[in-house]
């Protein structure tokens, strides 16, 4: 009997120098990457093998490399496991585009075209900032309370809600440092870590991206997905192509409610979660997403993480 999974894809930040070196040695994965070169660029193999961390971390490079890695891992796994069946797909931030491909709502080629447009639009906004901007990771007992705390500091807003206790806030570096000082002075039960990124993704600073994203989406086809796609922009299952396109554009400056999307998948009946990646990430967060208020884990949850090394074997 075929095993059924809800497949998961990570967002920006999982890039790492040499991330695709072993992946490119897998014939099925290499074919996927070759299909993406026309849209993602002739430098794609170099991004996956030889580009140093500092250059790879640039938004334009990171998003292209991560998307290629997502699709190459998933489609190579699917080729090796034709019995694979999905009952859902979840993408964290930019990972939603790979989730749409997995759900057969978007072609590999169209996904590459959109990611290229997305990466260029985000990069352009990053270069326009008049002051240093960024993100900070926040860990606490209940991240839901951070929405109120962030509102107390001008220039800070929640960018991503990842798990019950973890998420990310965004704003100018000065505003984020003010948040850290206020948390320390008022003894808030939070741990805040400033992240080395180009900008505060998923905040209003990225509103200028939306016109470029809408233009790119007008040129590609989004079909009704074969399985529900749980989107962080809405925090629930999405099946309507027009709404999916609208949410892909809104994602630029809207908080990423990944925690809600995962819980919506569970509510819809998803119990087995799968991630195939060099270093799986979202699948490792499930224990801090699918648990009740008393701390007890939701029943019957299975997490399967498949690495590049395992895929190669």
What is the domain partition of the chain in residue ranges?
4-128+206-312, 133-194
Residue found under tokens 């894809």? 9
Instruction: Round to whole Å and give the CA distance between 68 and 10.
Output: 12
pLDDT in tens, 188-247: 999 999 988 899 999 999 999 999 999 999 999 999 999 999 999 999 999 999 999 999
pLDDT in tens, 241-265: 999 999 999 999 999 999 999 999 9
With beta carbons less than 8 A apart as the criterion, state whether 193 and 134 touch: no
With beta carbons less than 8 A apart as the criterion, state whether 149 and 183 touch: yes
Tell me: pLDDT of 167 over 80: yes
- Cβ neighbors of 124 (< 8 A, separation 6 or more) are 208, 209, 212
The token duo for 301 is: 């949850």
CATH number of 4-128+206-312: 3.40.366.10
**Residue 47 parent element (H or E):** helix 44-49
What angle (nearest 5°) sits at the alpha carbon of residue 37, between those of residues 56 and 307? 60
Instruction: Round to whole Å and give the CA distance between 80 and 308.
Output: 13
pLDDT in tens, 19-33: 999 999 999 999 999
Query: Number of H helices and number of E strands within the chain?
Result: 12, 10
The answer regarding whether domain 133-194 maps to CATH 3.30.420.40 reads no
Q: How, if at all, do strands 133-140 and 190-194 pair?
A: antiparallel
């Amino acid at each position: 009997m075929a095993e059924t999974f809800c497949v998961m894809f990570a967002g920006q930040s999982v890039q790492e120098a040499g991330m695709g070196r072993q992946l490119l040695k897998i014939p099925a994965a290499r074919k996927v990457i070759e299909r993406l070169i026309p849209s993602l660029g002739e430098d794609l193999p170099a991004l996956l093998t030889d580009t140093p961390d500092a250059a790879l971390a640039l938004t334009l490079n990171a998003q292209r490399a991560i998307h290629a890695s997502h699709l190459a891992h998933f489609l190579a796994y699917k080729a090796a496991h034709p019995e694979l069946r999905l009952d859902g797909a979840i993408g964290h931030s930019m990972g939603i585009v790979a989730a749409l491909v997995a759900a057969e709502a978007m072609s590999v080629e169209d996904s590459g075209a959109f990611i290229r447009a997305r990466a260029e639009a985000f990069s352009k906004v990053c270069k326009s900032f008049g002051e240093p901007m960024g993100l900070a990771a926040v860990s606490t007992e209940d991240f839901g309370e951070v929405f109120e705390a962030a509102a107390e500091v001008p220039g800070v807003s929640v960018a991503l809600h990842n798990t019950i206790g973890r998420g990310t806030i965004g704003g100018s570096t000065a505003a984020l440092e003010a948040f850290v000082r206020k948390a320390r002075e008022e003894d808030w039960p939070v741990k805040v870590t400033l992240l080395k990124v180009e900008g505060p993704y998923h905040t209003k600073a990225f509103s200028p991206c939306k016109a470029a994203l809408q233009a790119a989406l007008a040129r590609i086809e989004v079909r009704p997905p074969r399985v529900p796609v749980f989107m962080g922009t809405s925090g629930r299952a999405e099946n309507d192509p027009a709404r999916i396109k609208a949410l892909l554009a809104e994602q630029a400056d809207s908080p990423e409610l990944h925690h809600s999307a995962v819980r919506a998948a569970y509510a819809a009946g998803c119990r087995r979660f799968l991630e195939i990646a060099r270093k799986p990430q979202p699948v490792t967060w499930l224990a801090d997403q699918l648990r009740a208020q008393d701390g007890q884990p939701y029943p019957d949850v299975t997490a399967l993480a498949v690495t590049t090394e395992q895929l190669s074997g």
